[in-house]
Amino acid sequence: MNSKKKVSFEVEEEPEIHGIRNTNPTEPYRPEITRRECGECRVSAKLRSVHYGKYNEEDAALIIIEFKFINGVRTRYKWGRIRIAFHPLSENEDKAPVVCTFFPWKIFGKVTGETRNRSSGYTLGLSSLASAPVVASAQLTGSSGNQFVKENRMKIQGTTDTSSKTGRGLNVAEWTLEENTAQQDGIPQKFVCGVIIKYFGTKFHAETKIQVRTCGKWHQPIDSMNAWLLQAWPWTKDDPVNFDLSQVPKNMELPELINRDLAKVDEEDVKKLLAPLDVDYEVP
């Protein structure tokens, strides 16, 4: 005898654990900007420091952000792009913040010489050229017979951009990180950057986007199909980080910049603001 049995069930939706939320729409200085996990790789960003002052007599803010790229056992980050766009908090405001300067501008790792066969391009060996001048991320040097030496180095390059449809107003700071292609040891696991912006009004916010490419570690070969490009996050979007002229949290203050014109921040200041900077890196 056939009997029918009625079964009820519920679909449990996964909470938005990936998108970082403000506690309220106007919460300022949220310390955790983003946190992403995919398999054994992780990316995170946090707001480290904020300082309000003047840049050539105009209202300005200096903002320091720290990023972490945590490699997995079998994968590494070989490329990354960080894009920070500043906008007025109210859509009715006409003027977006303007990027005055950013840092670091360029960072290079130590040069690695890669000996190749001119006909096949086969790598014959690696040698460290720590005393080589800072010139480019890769270049060709002297050759012998059918062999030549290709110099490689880790490279970080910053630039400015705009998110405006008219192309006016540089309200975006962007950095691209590329690994040393010879060593294949990934981009730095920790990257600290800063930007000085001029703002109009009393409030603004920042949206941070990160793109990365990963690959299997060179000493642990994996099928090329397992190397993937992570450009569009499948997760929910993070809330922007809000800034206003309220009291900056004590742990984010930069007392050494009080009464300093931010237009006069120099290379020594930058090295202190970005500290600790890995001794293997060179800032040209």
Q: What is the CATH number of the domain that holds 245?
A: 2.60.40
Same domain, 161 and 144: no
Does residue 67 form part of some domain? Answer: yes
What's the pTM value of the predicted model, to 2 decimals?
A: 0.76
Q: Which domain holds residue 115?
A: 110-153
Residues 6+ apart with CB under 8 A from 26: 89, 203, 242, 244
Same domain, 69 and 160: yes
Same domain, 119 and 98: no
Residue 30's closest CA among 39, 38, 20?
A: 20
Same domain, 104 and 117: no
The string of pLDDT tens digits covering residues 200-245 is 888 999 999 998 888 876 444 444 334 333 444 455 789 999 999 8
Does residue 144 form part of some domain? Answer: yes
The string of pLDDT tens digits covering residues 143-156 is 445 654 456 888 99
Same domain, 234 and 185: yes
Same domain, 248 and 236: yes
Side chain identity at residue 218, one-letter code: W
Identify whether the C-beta of residue 45 lies closer than 8 Å to the C-beta of residue 208. yes
Mean pLDDT within 46-65:
96
Give the number of domains in the chain: 2
Does residue 10 form part of some domain? Answer: no
* Residues β-bridged to residue 261: 54
Mean pLDDT within 4-13:
44
Same domain, 86 and 194: yes
